[in-house]
Amino acid sequence: MSTYVHYTQEQKDRARQTDLKELLERQGEHLKRSGKEYQWRDGSNKVTIRGNLWYHQYEEVGGDAIDFVRKFYGKDYPEAMEYLLNGYGGTLTAAPPVKREVKEFTLPDRNDNMRRVYAYLLHKRGLNRDVVNAFAHRQMIYESLPHHNAVFVGYDTEGTPRHAHKRGSGSESTYKGNADGSTPEYSFHWNGTSNKIFLFEAPIDMLSYISMNPHNWQQNTYAASCSVADRVLFQCLKDNPNIREVYLCLDNDEAGQKAAKRISDKLFVMGYKSEILTPTYKDWNEDLTTSQKEGEPQWTTQLS
C-alpha cells in the first residue's frame, strides 16, 4: 500500500507538463511523427502524443504525463510523481499487458415497428421526416427490443453491419452507448458521391445538420464518430478517394473544438482541405430545436 505523500501545486504542474516524447525515447521507444503529433504503439494500438498529452485511439481515453506513467507502466500516483519529478530517474518497468476480451459484434434485437423511435426523433429531436425515412429505408436506423432504443447502424463497404450506436428514446432517457464489439471505423455514416464529407460527434447531430441543410444532401458523405475520435473519418476517406474537402462539425465545447483542431492539423499534413463548422449552441440538434422554438428558418447557409 502506498504511503501518502503531499505534493505542492508547483510539483504537480511540473510533473504533468513532462514531455512524453522525450520520456519515451529515453526508454528506447520509437515514435512516428504525424504532423504536430507523434504516434506510439501500445501493442497493436495507436497512442497519439502531443507534448505532455496523450490519447489512446482504441480505448478513446487520454490524459497528461502523470496519467500516462500510471496507465502504461502500472505505477501508483506517488511512484509516478517521484519518477517524473526526478527527471525520469531509474528505469520504468512496463506493467504486464492487459489481455482485452474481444467481444463479438451483434446488432440489438429489432422491434417490428419504429413508432417510439419516430416519435422521439421527429417530435423531441425535431428531425426532418424525409431524412429519417431515407436512413430507415436503408436499415440504418431502427427500434430495438426490449428497451425501444433508437439504433444507428454503421456498415462496411461490403454492406455488413459493423457498428451500432444506441440512444434511449424515452422522454426522460439520457442513455447512449455503442453495442459491444462495434468497430469505430464503421460507425454511423452515409456515403455520397461529391468531394465533401461532414464529420459529427453523434448521429442525431449529423441528422440535425442534414435536416437544416436538406438541398441535395444525399450527394455528400456524412459520418458520426460517436465520440471525438477520427477513425470513421479516415476510413471514409480511404473508402471514398474522391473526397478532398472535410468539414469538421464537432460540438461547441472544449472537447469538441480541441478534437476539431487536432483533426484539422492532421488533415493539413495529409493534403486535405478542411474547415471547422461550429454550431451556435452546444451542438447541432440544439441549433435545430432552438430555431424551431423561435420560429426561425430551419436551415443554415449551404456550402457550394
At residue 55, the pLDDT reads: 87
Could you read off the pLDDT of 7-45 as tens digits, one per residue?
Answer: 899 989 999 999 999 988 887 788 999 888 899 887 667
Enumerate residues 6+ apart whose C-beta is below 8 A from 201.
Answer: 224, 225, 226, 227, 228, 250, 251, 256, 283
At residue 225, the pLDDT reads: 95
Residue 127 or 57, more confident: 127
Cell 417530435 -> residue: 123
Phi/psi region, residue 92 (left: phi>0; alpha: psi -120 to 50; beta: rest), is beta
Among 193-197, 214-218, 250-254, 268-272, the minimum mean pLDDT is found in: 268-272
User: What CA–CA distance (Å, rounded) separates 19 from 17?
Assistant: 6
Residue 173 or 105, more confident: 105
C-alpha of 99 from chain center: 24
Average pLDDT, rounded, for the chain: 89
β-strand pairing of 273-276 with 221-224: unpaired
148 close to 116: Cβ distance less than 8 angstroms:
yes
At residue 74, the pLDDT reads: 85
Enumerate residues 6+ apart whose C-beta is below 8 A from 50.
Answer: 36, 37, 38, 262
Q: Is the pLDDT of residue 304 over 70?
A: no
At residue 44, the pLDDT reads: 66
- Nearest 5°: the CA angle 3, 65, 19 is 130
At residue 301, the pLDDT reads: 45
At residue 291, the pLDDT reads: 92
For the full predicted model, state whether its pTM sits above 0.85: no
Domains of the chain: 9-85 (3.90.580.10), 115-293 (3.40.1360.10)
Could you read off the pLDDT of 127-182 as tens digits, one per residue?
Answer: 999 999 999 999 999 999 999 999 999 999 999 999 999 999 987 788 889 999 99
Report the pLDDT averaged over residues 112-116. Answer: 96
Could you read off the pLDDT of 198-256 as tens digits, one per residue?
Answer: 999 999 999 999 999 999 999 999 999 998 889 999 999 999 999 999 999 999 998 89
At residue 3, the pLDDT reads: 56
Per-residue pLDDT band for 56 (boundaries 50, 70, 90) equals: confident
Dihedrals φ, ψ of 66, to 5°? Answer: -65, -45
Name the grid cell of 57. 485511439
At residue 83, the pLDDT reads: 86
Per-residue pLDDT band for 93 (boundaries 50, 70, 90) equals: low
User: What count of other Cβ atoms lies within 10 Å of the Cβ of residue 23?
Assistant: 20
At residue 302, the pLDDT reads: 46
End-to-end CA distance of the chain: 62
Let me know how many helices (H) and strands (E) the chain has, helices first: 10, 14
Q: Specify burial of residue 277 (Cβ count, 10 A radius: 0-12, 13-18, 19+).
A: middle
At residue 27, the pLDDT reads: 79
β-strand pairing of 196-200 with 221-224: parallel
Enumerate residues 6+ apart whose C-beta is below 8 A from 304.
Answer: none
218 close to 192: Cβ distance less than 8 angstroms:
yes
Q: Is the pLDDT of residue 90 over 60?
A: no
